[in-house]
Structure 1
Amino acid sequence: MKSVCSRQALLLCCSVVALAMPALTHAATPGATGAAVPAAGDVPPATATQVDPAVSINEIIVTATRQSKRLQDVAMTVNVATGEQLDKYKIFDIKDVDQLAPGLELTNTTGRNNTTTLRGVTFDPDQGTAPAVQVYINEIPTDAQTAYTAIYDVQQIEVLRGPQGLLRGLSAPAGSITITTRRPSFDKIEGYAEATGTDRAGYNAQLGVSIPINDKLAIRFAGLLDGNRNNNVRDINRNGQRSQSRTESERVTLGWKPTDTVTAYLTYQHLYADNVQFQQVVGSGANPYGVYETEFGTPVSFLPAAYGGHPFTPDTTVRSGPPLKASDYAAVADGEFRNVNNTHIVNLNVAADLGPATLSFVGAHQFSKLTINRDLDDTNALPGYVEYSNVITPYIVNTAEVRLSSNNREGLGWGLGAFYTKETGVTTVAQDSSQFWYPVAPGTPVNLPYAAIGVPLAGFTPFTLSNTLGIATLVNVPVNTQTWSFNGNVRYKSGGLTIEGGLRYSLLRIVQTTQLTLSGAVTQGPYEIIPAALQRNDHNPLTGGADISYALMSTLNVYAAYGHSYRSGSTGVSVPAGISNDLIQTKPEQTDSFEVGFKGSAVDHRINFSISTYYQTLSNYLSLFPNIYYDAPAAQPATGFFQFNYNGNASIKGIEAAIDNRVTSNWDAGISASYNHARYKNALLPCNDFAGTGTPNQNGAPAVTGGGNVSFCRSNGPLAEVPDFSLTANTEIRFPMGAYTPFVRALFTYRPSFYSERVQYQYQDRELLNLFAGVRIQDSRWEFDVFARNLLNQQRITNTTLGQGTVNALLGGTFNSGYRAVNVMNPREFGATLKFKW
């Protein structure tokens, strides 16, 4: 492991004694919330609470192993955030949770594709494979688009790091995120209401209330209304229209305790989210069109190519937009990008204590309909034209899991389980491809030579074409995936020694087909574009893991763990015709990870600390490569840009450490850091190599280097667009004054500068500081605070594309917008929150 300790890793190793974890923590900050914690094992799953500020003992109960355990006793790296902590730092969007956990990046570059990166392993929802980090709500796997959209009335979030191939139904190479919502109270009426507003038109109102009907039946109602400006971007070509998001959600949970040994919770949740998010751009802008002089001496405003050596000059009357920089928060698309998510979820969780063992069942039914309307030309390479796309994705997911697990804490224990999930639905994609023929003035016929469209005739015979001569495409993508899995595990505990291990056998069945219909200038179909041999993926992987831990003393545990996970490859849908099979279907991915670490506490649990190091290999790591230029001469011919899945071997070396400290009874402070060196291992990957240099670039006219359909570049670069090192810190100081307790708290995250090989860009370092000040009244029943997000008002680019945005057309070649598509840190925002609990 010597190679792990680069300069940043060495800094991490040498600073462990000074580290303290913030709100999302390996051992959560003392005093962050205010409820006593029972002894480990007395807390039912996902109902852990925390200590009163006056009490020094702070033991966090987690369900990472599907049992309630002290965090210190779990032989893996687990981060925990309670609902109170999420509220404390105004985490209304789960994507902001990455401010609380180093090494975790939650991004949404378009307002649609929620992307999770953990330990340097990333996942793009558009790649069509199982995610690298699997998300669960109330123990049921859920897509990130739904899970991340509405975070309210949450009991606890746990981030499990490392391969997950045993304890939960779906395997994941980087980890899992489990979200548990609050359950109703059988004892008393209790709840909360809060409202937040900001100076950037942000608002968040939420409510949660439990009503016990009797000692056996209780109900909890919760609701959310949230609105904001998303990425705070204005579209200057749409009269300054702003990005805007509105989310409404309601949840009702019915709790039933017919006996002392049986509990059941039935939850229904509805989600409606409507997001308009314009793609921000930076650059000088361009004049994509030119003035072309015909052989008759008539200037024609048309495409940027010089036919037959005739004069060609830029048409300065038509421009993509003005020069723009990051601080302008501006977009130039002619069309809108709107995403609507309408989801219904029913979840049932039942547990029966049979004495020697507990029998449990979780099941869910989810129906979602995602509707996306967008202008694909988001950098406006074709001014005055909307490259329209409409995507409708209705899908149904049914999931069920049954488990039987022994109840003994000492001696030999065991567990058995069976899991099933199936997803069905048909995605439809309707896209206007008139830009394929596009003339400058929409609807206006223009004269051009036949030679311009590849007809080798002498001279320049006039040829009339208008943009009504377009192509409309309709793509149907049926979804049919099914997973059965069966697992067994054993554990042995004697005193301070615990040994656990198990296996999961899965049957994965995936059918992927795509039917394409063309209309307009070309009429074809519908016809199947996925080769028959690539339409079905059947895999039967064996995954699992083992760990051993030992309590050197009651306050110090050491552990070692091994994990193995598996992800099926996928068949690309709506891929261009005529490309090679390796660009259509990917190979399965397998992952092995080894981790060692220790966790402990000192000074009567006033100090909690942990450190772990790991090494992980990924065989055929699955990733998505967007905006790759392809050339398929066997298909009519065809060229353009597309996103392709591809495999490459990789490895990761990492260190993660944390320490939190209650300095005094009214002062908590913390720091946590993570170093993850995730790199490809001499992988040959799709790239844009227009200049033929063997490295990613878009210098010159689009071209394919080599003899394939796309260019390939050799890479030992990062797996994700994130730095290796990250750090987060927090502090809270309280000033008790009788019934009033003023407080000040701060949350700070640091991401260093790093160079991206994939997009050829040097990202700047980022220092994000959020500051809060307020007062609690009457034993925290009332709380009012004011806050500032991004107090330093940094406006750093967090994501960018390789080169400037372009659009290809059959007539005229490539149009260049003069802009890069980017994402930028949201600007400084001030707000205030009022909360009441009863």
Structure 2
Amino acid sequence: MSRNFMTFLSSGVAIAALASIAPAYAQDDVVQAAADEPVYDEIVVTATRDSRSLQDVPMSVNAVTSEQLAKLNILDTKDISRLAPGLELTNTTGRNNTTTLRGIGFDADQGTDPTVQIYFNEAPADAQTVFTAMYDIGQIEVLRGPQGLLRGLSSPGGSITITTLRPKFDEVEGYMQGTVTDRHAYNVQGGVTLPFNEKVSLRVAALVDGNRNNQVRNITNGDYSRGTTQSGRVTLGLRPTEDITAYLSYQYLQSDVRQYSQVVGAANDFGGIPTGPRDFGIRDRVAVSDGVNRFQNISHIVNLNVDWDLGFADLTGLAAYQSSTLDQQRDSDPANSIPGLALPQHTISPYRVPTFELRLASKNDGMFGWGVGAFYQKLGGTSRVTQDTALFFAEAPAIPGVTYLPITSYITAPTNQETISFNANGRVRAGGFTLEGGLRYTIMNGVREADIVSTSPGAPGALIDPFTVTEAGVPAQLRDLKERPLTGGATLSYEFSPTLTGYVAYGHSFRAGAVGYAAPVGISPDLVATQNEKTDNFEAGLKGSFFDRRVNFAVSAFYQTFDGFVSRFTGIYYNCPNSEPGVCAPGTIDNGADIPSTDGSFDFNYNGDATVKGIEASIDARPTDFWDLSINMSYVKARYKDNARLPCNDFDGDGRPDTDGSAAISGTGNVSFCRLTRMSDTPDFNLSATTELRIPVEGSVEPFVRGLLTYRPGVYSQQRNFNYRSRTLIDLFAGVRGNDGQWELTGFVKNVLNQQRISDFQNIPQVGTFAGPVQSGYSVISSTVPREFGLVGTFRW
């Protein structure tokens, strides 16, 4: 398919969308529409572990249906954030999927439970696997606010539940969908249900996907970023009696991603790339690293959900097992500070997780209700890391003949953590009021340990003999994890009318503190292990509809406090007194006189008290039978308190983060400390809007246009000392479908404005030498993908 044709098609899409939105205002007004029958299908969610209308759930929830996913051609789970303002799903390196919600950030490498838990068919799962392949989805729900009662694992920011489509017992049905774009991307997926009888049914689904992910070319080796994913899922539905229903599913996933880190900036004389153009902007979309960045994932997920109607109550059982192996290779010098020498890191992480849950709950009717449950999960697997580093004896290692000491470190880190919890909740209804609440008692046991072996062949030119050093990656006194948190919450809701409900809610959650694996030996204890984190949230909301449910709305306000929020601060330079490389010896630190001024950099976890407050609102409307409109927005201030003193890089000693010039430590500690404000680099305000206009014509087809807009204002990152520009991303779709809904052909253009904005900025990386740090001059970034044109064909039966 030629690019000229795709350009012509996308231009038509944009013109048709802009030209056809205006006539929508000339349709029958909303008041006249009130005389019609309700037109919105009720959205049912399981946010409260039972089936309720979205409008009746006493919490802030975004529900994304399978129909919405198909209409907006959302093929990447991370794009769900475009429908849920304040939610950010990112992957800056190809391996570390992270989730931020309500400004509460998380780094997947910090060694704690995530701030937002991911559930796949009600079983906790890791984002790295779940976000890799999205197909045959029934519904995705974004639950906002602390979760510590209804699901097995506590989380301070919220939860995302992903439910796959289940087989029906009374009809053969399915779909096939194919997408192709001018950015070397393709996606083919489908699913089919085969009912054998009223008691046994089977659903089979599969996905094949390929793309160039961040659209970056490595000009050092000529390779492009690219990725391929294949996945298949089989779900067996069983209904042995009218009271028992069970679904047993197995999913296989194989993913292979090569994602190079994009750079911008001007190269130094001895860094970057040897020849050719050396200054790069965001639109050049280039990488310069010598080594490969490759991430492979092979996963097996088995999931069994059983529901048994006992008459007086419902008994629900869950048994799941995830077996994933992540094979990750990356160059530790992505900005190519040392041309011609790769510093590879190779990590193999097996992830073996059995999960079991049993719940007994009364029917969701009557004056009183109750529920009890038990949960069990065990994390297992031993990660093995091989890291090559080099210690240089001159300032310019790019000069031929410079002597350096090669060092290879082998880290073995077994995972052994067990979580058992018991919960109980109750409900009472009276005179329009409903009071619900409960508690969860959790038992967390685990051992956190790591063995580190560093070896080197020596450097004869520097009179250094071969050596091998063995050390413990976690101090003995910090290895045992034994916590007994009590979490939970309560809600009070009132039904003002059948179409208007208000609520107030309280939630409490907990996260165990983190331990820094392979932290510099002897560094101050506060930089090795954090304290536990606790959070309390208070929320009030109003949900309703009017004009015969043609307009639905929800608005909520909340205030959340953190006692010791656990966050990760990456690339922090440290200094030790009288030290060998990587070892902090006892003594007085004199950051003004120590040579070298820094002994290296490390990623440190740290606690900081914080508050989060904000307002979230959404409105869904169908002004006419042919026009749908949805607007979602959030305004959240997630800030550390004034007394929060957090690790930072402060090279010039002014108390604010910066990395200008040579690395240095300010103050009297092992690292610099700054008073930061933002808990993440998420702007306070976020907005998204979607619309669809169906054009009534005579015949058996229905033309349509759709649009998706997301707006993210600019924001200043204190930790990165960087101003992120605002982003306005617009996707437009135009197509035609059969009136029976069986087929649809759509052309689209994504990122219509072709905005290429930096979404993640890393300060210029440096490589240490005895004579001082060296750098290429490049900054490592992630950026939005350029404008993309494509076609989608869908057939349903």
Taking structure 1 as the reference length, the TM-score comes to 0.86
Instruction: Name the aligned partner's letter for residue 326 of structure 1.
Output: I
1:785 corresponds to which of 746, 752, 768 = 746
Task: Give the aligned partner of residue 805 of structure 1.
Answer: 765
Name the CA distance, whole Å, in 2 between partners of 1:110 and 1:496. Answer: 51
Post-superposition shift, 1:494? Answer: 3.2
Task: Give the aligned partner of residue 23 of structure 2.
Answer: none
1:321-336 to structure 2, matched below 5 A, reads 322-336=278-292
1:233 corresponds to which of 186, 192, 216 = 216
1:186 and 2:186 matched: no
Task: Give the aligned partner of residue 727 of structure 1.
Answer: 687
CA contact (8 A) 1:272 1:341 kept: yes
Name the CA distance, whole Å, in 1 between partners of 2:82 and 2:428. Answer: 37
Name the CA distance, whole Å, in 1 between partners of 2:748 and 2:476. Answer: 57
Instruction: Name the aligned partner's letter for residue 265 of structure 2.
Output: G
2:777 corresponds to which of 818, 829, 836 = 818
Name the CA distance, whole Å, in 2 between partners of 1:644 and 1:403. Answer: 39
Task: Give the aligned partner of residue 177 of structure 1.
Answer: 160
Task: Give the aligned partner of residue 31 of structure 2.
Answer: none
Name the CA distance, whole Å, in 1 between partners of 2:750 and 2:361. Answer: 45
Name the CA distance, whole Å, in 2 between partners of 1:589 and 1:274. Answer: 36
Q: Number of matched residues?
A: 736
Task: Give the aligned partner of residue 596 of structure 1.
Answer: 540
Secondary structure of 1:814's counterpart equals: coil
1:389 and 2:348 matched: no
Q: Kindly provide the CA deviation profile for residues 547-590 of structure 1, in whole angstroms up to 9, marking residues without a partner as x.
A: 01011000000100000000000111122222111111111100
CA contact (8 A) 1:730 1:746 kept: yes
Secondary structure of 2:55's counterpart equals: helix
Name the CA distance, whole Å, in 2 between partners of 1:436 and 1:129. Answer: 34
Post-superposition shift, 1:435? Answer: 4.7
1:645-794 to structure 2, matched below 5 A, reads 645-682=605-642, 683-715=644-676, 717-737=677-697, 738-794=699-755
1:255 corresponds to which of 211, 229, 237 = 237
1:158 and 2:141 matched: yes
CA contact (8 A) 1:219 1:253 kept: yes
Secondary structure of 1:237's counterpart equals: coil
Instruction: Name the aligned partner's letter for residue 684 of structure 1.
Output: R
1:29-428 to structure 2, matched below 5 A, reads 56-239=39-222, 241-288=223-270, 318=274, 322-428=278-384
Post-superposition shift, 1:434? Answer: 2.6
Change (3 A) 1:509 1:321: farther
Q: Kindly provide the CA deviation profile for residues 415-453 of structure 1, in whole angstroms up to 9, marking residues without a partner as x.
A: 00000100111111101113556896789655xxxxxxx
Post-superposition shift, 1:813? Answer: 2.0
1:398-797 to structure 2, matched below 5 A, reads 398-436=354-392, 445-446=401-402, 465=403, 467=404, 469-494=405-430, 496-520=432-456, 521=458, 523-633=467-577, 635-638=579-582, 639-682=599-642, 683-715=644-676, 717-737=677-697, 738-797=699-758
Name the CA distance, whole Å, in 1 between partners of 2:332 and 2:377. Answer: 33
Q: Kindly provide the CA deviation profile for residues 454-496 of structure 1, in whole angstroms up to 9, marking residues without a partner as x.
A: xxxxxxxxxxx4x5x4111101111111101000000012352
Post-superposition shift, 1:637? Answer: 4.0
CA contact (8 A) 2:572 2:671 kept: yes
Post-superposition shift, 1:275? Answer: 0.7
Instruction: Name the aligned partner's letter for residue 751 of structure 1.
Output: R
Change (3 A) 1:251 1:117: same
CA contact (8 A) 1:629 1:642 kept: yes
Change (3 A) 1:526 1:776: same
Name the CA distance, whole Å, in 2 between partners of 1:57 and 1:343. Answer: 38
Change (3 A) 1:144 1:634: farther
Change (3 A) 1:183 1:438: farther
Instruction: Name the aligned partner's letter for residue 56 of structure 1.
Output: V
Gaps in structure 1 of 5+ consecutive residues: 1-52, 290-315, 447-464
Instruction: Name the aligned partner's letter for residue 559 of structure 1.
Output: Y
Name the CA distance, whole Å, in 1 between partners of 2:277 and 2:246. Answer: 58
Task: Give the aligned partner of residue 454 of structure 1.
Answer: none
Name the CA distance, whole Å, in 2 between partners of 1:635 and 1:348. Answer: 54
Task: Give the aligned partner of residue 30 of structure 1.
Answer: none
Secondary structure of 1:578's counterpart equals: coil
Q: Kindly provide the CA deviation profile for residues 204-238 of structure 1, in whole angstroms up to 9, marking residues without a partner as x.
A: 00010000011100110000001111111111111
Name the CA distance, whole Å, in 1 between partners of 2:608 and 2:471. Answer: 32
Identity of aligned residues (%): 50
Name the CA distance, whole Å, in 1 between partners of 2:109 and 2:647. Answer: 16
Task: Give the aligned partner of residue 461 of structure 1.
Answer: none
CA contact (8 A) 2:270 2:396 kept: no
Post-superposition shift, 1:524? Answer: 2.6
Name the CA distance, whole Å, in 2 between partners of 1:70 and 1:489. Answer: 20
Secondary structure of 1:813's counterpart equals: coil
Instruction: Name the aligned partner's letter for residue 358 of structure 1.
Output: D
Name the CA distance, whole Å, in 2 between partners of 1:826 and 1:674. Answer: 24
Post-superposition shift, 1:731? Answer: 0.8
Name the CA distance, whole Å, in 1 between partners of 2:263 and 2:724. Answer: 16
CA contact (8 A) 1:409 1:493 kept: no
Post-superposition shift, 1:753? Answer: 1.4
Name the CA distance, whole Å, in 2 between partners of 1:479 and 1:287. Answer: 44
Instruction: Name the aligned partner's letter for residue 832 of structure 1.
Output: L
CA contact (8 A) 2:472 2:518 kept: no
Shifted more, 630-639 versus 328-337: the winner is 630-639
Task: Give the aligned partner of residue 791 of structure 2.
Answer: 832
Instruction: Name the aligned partner's letter for residue 790 of structure 1.
Output: N
Change (3 A) 1:712 1:317: closer
Post-superposition shift, 1:674? Answer: 0.4
Name the CA distance, whole Å, in 1 between partners of 2:397 and 2:297. Answer: 36
CA contact (8 A) 2:500 2:545 kept: yes
Gaps in structure 2 of 5+ consecutive residues: 1-35, 459-465, 583-598
Post-superposition shift, 1:670? Answer: 2.0
Secondary structure of 1:242's counterpart equals: coil
CA contact (8 A) 2:218 2:224 kept: yes
CA contact (8 A) 2:337 2:767 kept: yes
Name the CA distance, whole Å, in 2 between partners of 1:821 and 1:318. Answer: 18
Post-superposition shift, 1:271? Answer: 0.8
Secondary structure of 2:773's counterpart equals: strand
Secondary structure of 1:112's counterpart equals: coil
Secondary structure of 2:280's counterpart equals: coil
Task: Give the aligned partner of residue 456 of structure 1.
Answer: none
Q: Kindly provide the CA deviation profile for residues 673-703 of structure 1, in whole angstroms up to 9, marking residues without a partner as x.
A: 1000000002100000111111101122211
Task: Give the aligned partner of residue 19 of structure 1.
Answer: none
Shifted more, 827-836 versus 524-533: the winner is 524-533
Secondary structure of 1:533's counterpart equals: helix
Q: Kindly provide the CA deviation profile for residues 706-730 of structure 1, in whole angstroms up to 9, marking residues without a partner as x.
A: 2221111112x11111100001111
Post-superposition shift, 1:58? Answer: 3.2
Secondary structure of 1:336's counterpart equals: coil
Change (3 A) 1:764 1:358: same
Task: Give the aligned partner of residue 44 of structure 1.
Answer: none
Post-superposition shift, 1:200? Answer: 0.5
Taking structure 2 as the reference length, the TM-score comes to 0.90
